[in-house]
Amino acid sequence: MNQMVKLFTSKLNKQVIEMNGNSFDREKIFSLTKNFSLIFLATWMVDGFDIEGDLQLPTMMVIVCIAFIVNALLPVSYRLFFFFIASLVPIFYFFSTAQAFTLIGIALALIGVCHLPFSITIRQLLVIFLGMGLAFCQYIIKKTSFVGEIALGSKFVSLLGVMFMFRIILYLHELKYQKKKPSVWQSLSYFFTLPNYSFPIFPIIDFKAFNSTYYDDQDTKIYERGVNLILLGLFQLLFYRVIYYLLPLLSEVDGALMFFYYIMISYLFLIRLNGILNIIVGILRLFGFNLPDIFNYMFLSHGFDDYWRRVNIYWKDFMVKIFYYPIYFKFRKKSIVLALTIGTILTFFFNWFLHSYQWFWILGEFSVRGPEIIFWTILCILVLIAVIYQTKNRGKTKISKINIKTWKFAFTRALQIIFTNVVIALIYNLYNSPSFSDWINLLTKIKNSPIIEIGIVLLILLLIVFPLALGIWMYENKKMNSLFDFISRGQDILKFGFLIGGLFITTSFAGNLLSTKNQVTLYNYVTHQLNKSDTERQSRGYYEEILSGDQFNSQAWQNESGKSANWVQLNKTGIMVREDLFINLKPNAEIVFKDAHLSTNSWGMRDKEYSKKRPKNTVRIAILGGSLEMGTGVENNEVFENLIENSLNANKKASDPNYEVLNFSISGSSIIRNIEKFNKQVKDFEPTHVLLGMHEGEVLHFQKTLRWIKEQTESKENLENIFKNSPWLRELVIFIEKENLSFDLNIKEKEKIKRGNKIINWCLNHLKQKCSEKGIDFSLILFPSLENKTNNLNNIEQLIKKNKIHYYDIRDAYLNYDHDLLKIAEWDNHPNTKGHELIANALYLEINKKKLNEN
């Protein structure tokens, strides 16, 4: 029995056990209650603002919230084992059971190889061999999309990459030099870290620091440090949303002033990375890992070497420990300057390589981009010059002789900070540019700037110098101590005030206090809608690319110069025609839309030519839907409705009728617009069958249509004209008013879905009745999704069954295929050629199984 107990406990030194005993005095109970309350409110805020929802942070915070209180109540010697068990929960939540056990098995195998009774060199080679095997899997998955029966997709391999790509290097390094063998739970907890499964970018935590800081102070103090860092991270992510909406379009950059504004706002996007990594480290502190801060006020860097020391300290420490020190000490005896030069150059080379290596494990491609290489080269040169200069002039430089309490020092340091950040912002913009020529083109936008604009930029920088210098002078002269003391005494009030105030913003009551215009602004902020840059063309850089959704779609960020000019919304191409609710494509038109040719027939359908009158001995199927059914991003002959028509005719018997599948779908069509489409166009083509596409998030698709209808109600004359053209719409408006189903901006997502399902139910019954009156068989298609799944289609399926509507369920069409590789682009969730092929195959099988009612 004692052996069993020992198995689940950790060998901790007496000091740790005494410092964190199991007794709960009044002070400890108060501290735990306060910190749990803050974490509970923080979890509520993450859910309310849907902070990093595409990375599943709201779900992760719920798990953290529960696990934190359980961990705090356990005896200290059991907590490391519990942390490991808690870290397994997200694996089984985010993956299927088969996937979860497979992932755990592979992870345990990799850890086990590190402890084989061979020399460290052989173990390192075995780990490299296994890593190459996983890399080959990632490459094959990326090339073929096929992921097997248990769907070991690129996200699966990516998670293993995040868990092991850097940590296993540090782990083997410690095994090589550390005399004391780590315990089982220390090793497992190091790789199976709780927040690991939400964040594709994860801090490179040193194994030695991970263990040495474990409950190295009083537990309540560590928990409080964790809570503080999580709240700081949340504040940074909410502030990032403000910055995000301030980003201008590249087309708006037309001079020195806008150029300066653009690069500084782009640079401040790094606040998001700060916030995410702070939350990760904060979560680990909640479980006793008293890790140091990961950023040291990076925006206060006063030199390029100082910037390197302050930004992502864990990464810097990893590079220095594994690469810089071994190289430096090898050449130091020959020459310190030579050692510094070779060490810095090779360290920055590995810096670039490991960023590309990280890109490969997370996104499946090894990134070799000119701008990245140039960025690291420039930063390497800047850091090297600074380091060599300081080495040769240590104690001799003028700034080192200035009294830090003087105004001269304050102004000098302020100028250094501003110069460093402006230069970093400039080359960081290069880092995120699609090509070096694109960056040069951006620079040329300031060439013809009037002198007054350049003067305004310099004046802005000068105006920043004065308050910054004042802050430095006050800090060095300890004039801010009373302010710091005041903040320290009232920090609990500030923390609760921040969380409660943030939660208040998410309520409908807060929205109702604002004008309609400001309600829309608040709604966009709370729900994190796309800014104008992303809506028009969309832009993102290295970290944003990695942090894009579905990695384990945050903002639709993609370098705007890297996307073709035809990648716009369909309504901006000039091919659409509108008449109130009715929308159609122009007849006999041809455009390039999202890198694919889109042509229409004489009826304005994206299809081949058909007669209006149905031919004899013909089953005519009308497809109604939106952008997916229209075939966004694929060629005309690659759309699933063309493929299904070919399959039905190729495999029919001689006695069977011919099949025609007519595509009436158009991007932006909601179920409400599709009813109008049926009344104004579809029924005139004498279809025998109408198939209406239904999707995940169907409830949200018709909100714009409802808002348009609501706008028309402001003018009774307009509304009556619309009712005259669309009599059925009057019935829908009466139903919505009677059932109080209007979609206000401030209502919660669950209420939207509830109301939306009632409207969908009305629309389905109405369309079924209209089809029945014309002798048309009405069916639905439940389409698969390349986005995060919701329960929306499950709810709709219940409505369908309740109303006895025939449907074809092809939601498993993408089973065994990596969803990321079925998209027309990384930033666009419409299915590509392969995706349409899979849809056609699944629908053909469903039609064969259930049989069409051949009228």
State pLDDT tens for residues 250-274: 767 888 898 899 999 989 999 999 9
pLDDT score at 826: 72
How far is residue 724's CA from residue 718's CA, in Å, rounded to a whole number?
A: 10
How far is residue 462's CA from residue 230's CA, in Å, rounded to a whole number?
A: 34
pLDDT score at 264: 92
Q: Grade residue 557 by pLDDT with cuts at 50, 70 and 90.
A: very low
User: Within 10 Å of residue 48's Cβ, how many Cβ atoms?
Assistant: 17
pLDDT, tens digit (0-9, with 9 covering 90-100), for 678-729: 989 999 999 999 999 988 777 766 666 666 666 665 566 667 777 778 888 8
How far is residue 61's CA from residue 240's CA, in Å, rounded to a whole number?
A: 20
Tokens at residue 104, please?
A: 């755990």
pLDDT score at 38: 96
Whether the pTM exceeds 0.85: the reply is no
Beta pairing partners, 692: 624, 780
pLDDT score at 5: 45
Query: 443 or 276, which is more confident?
Result: 276
Q: What is the mean pLDDT of residues 35-57?
A: 91
From the list 209, 126, 127, the residue with the least C-alpha distance to 160 is 127
pLDDT score at 852: 64
Q: What is the mean pLDDT of residues 229-243?
A: 94
Query: 673 or 144, which is more confident?
Result: 673
pLDDT higher than threshold 70 for residue 543:
no
pLDDT higher than threshold 70 for residue 375:
yes
How far is residue 760's CA from residue 695's CA, in Å, rounded to a whole number?
A: 12
Beta pairing partners, 773: none
pLDDT score at 288: 94
Q: Grade residue 559 by pLDDT with cuts at 50, 70 and 90.
A: very low
User: Within 10 Å of residue 760's Cβ, how many Cβ atoms?
Assistant: 24
Q: Grade residue 88 by pLDDT with cuts at 50, 70 and 90.
A: very high
pLDDT higher than threshold 60 for residue 628:
yes
Q: What is the mean pLDDT of residues 154-164?
A: 77
pLDDT higher than threshold 90 for residue 80:
yes
pLDDT higher than threshold 50 for residue 149:
no
Backbone phi, then psi, for 705, in 5-degree steps? -65, -40
Beta pairing partners, 596: 593
Q: Grade residue 6 by pLDDT with cuts at 50, 70 and 90.
A: low
pLDDT score at 615: 93
**Average predicted confidence (pLDDT) for the chain:** 83
pLDDT, tens digit (0-9, with 9 covering 90-100), for 567-624: 677 877 788 888 877 888 899 998 888 888 899 999 999 999 999 999 999 999 999 9
pLDDT score at 554: 33
How far is residue 344's CA from residue 573's CA, in Å, rounded to a whole number?
A: 51
Q: What is the mean pLDDT of residues 112-118?
A: 92
Give the range among 279-283, 631-635, 655-659, 746-750 with minimum mean pLDDT: 746-750
Radius of gyration for the chain, computed over Cα atoms and rounded to the nearest angstrom = 31
pLDDT score at 248: 82
pLDDT score at 787: 72
pLDDT higher than threshold 80 for residue 328:
yes
pLDDT higher than threshold 50 for residue 200:
yes
From the list 649, 560, 552, 664, the residue with the least C-alpha distance to 604 is 664
Backbone phi, then psi, for 695, in 5-degree steps? -135, 165
From the list 600, 617, 616, 597, the residue with the least C-alpha distance to 662 is 600
pLDDT score at 479: 83
Q: Grade residue 817 by pLDDT with cuts at 50, 70 and 90.
A: confident
Give the range among 259-268, 336-345, 353-362 with minimum mean pLDDT: 353-362
How far is residue 237's CA from residue 272's CA, in Å, rounded to a whole number?
A: 5
pLDDT, tens digit (0-9, with 9 covering 90-100), for 772-811: 999 999 999 999 988 755 557 788 888 888 888 999 999 8
Amino acid at 44: W
Query: 354 or 722, which is more confident?
Result: 354
pLDDT score at 387: 87
pLDDT score at 414: 93
Q: Are 511 and 541 in contact (CB under 8 A)?
A: no
pLDDT score at 531: 63
Half-sphere CA count of 121, side-chain side, radius 13 A: 0
From the list 292, 325, 318, 229, the residue with the least C-alpha distance to 35 is 229
| Long-range contact set of residues 377-382: C-beta below 8 Å, sequence gap at least 24 | 377/348, 378/427, 378/430, 379/304, 379/308, 379/348, 379/427, 380/344, 380/345, 380/348, 380/349, 380/351, 382/304, 382/423
Of all residues in the chain, the percent with pLDDT exceeding 90 is 42
Q: Grade residue 226 by pLDDT with cuts at 50, 70 and 90.
A: very high
pLDDT higher than threshold 80 for residue 526:
no
What is the per-residue DSSP string for 520-532? HHHHHHHHT---H
Q: Are 387 and 341 in contact (CB under 8 A)?
A: no
Q: Residue-wise over 660-690: b if at least 16 C-beta within 10 A, else e?
A: bbbbbbbbbbbbbbbbbbbbbbbbebbbbbb
User: Within 10 Å of residue 5's Cβ, how many Cβ atoms?
Assistant: 10
pLDDT score at 501: 92
Q: What is the mean pLDDT of residues 537-550?
A: 44
Query: 135 or 12, which is more confident?
Result: 135
Q: Grade residue 11 by pLDDT with cuts at 50, 70 and 90.
A: low
Q: What is the mean pLDDT of residues 115-143?
A: 85
pLDDT higher than threshold 80 for residue 451:
yes
Tokens at residue 32, please?
A: 């735990």
pLDDT higher than threshold 90 for residue 363:
no
How far is residue 643's CA from residue 648's CA, in Å, rounded to a whole number?
A: 9
pLDDT higher than threshold 60 for residue 13:
no
Q: Which DSSP state fits 245?
A: H
Domains defined for the chain, CATH in brackets:
2-476 (no CATH), 577-850 (3.40.50.1110)
Q: Grade residue 1 by pLDDT with cuts at 50, 70 and 90.
A: very low
| Three-class secondary structure assignment of 769-801 | HHHHHCCCEEEEEECCCCCCCCCHHHHHHHHHH
Q: What is the mean pLDDT of residues 537-558?
A: 41
pLDDT, tens digit (0-9, with 9 covering 90-100), for 721-754: 777 788 888 888 888 888 877 765 556 667 777 8
Query: 530 or 332, which is more confident?
Result: 332
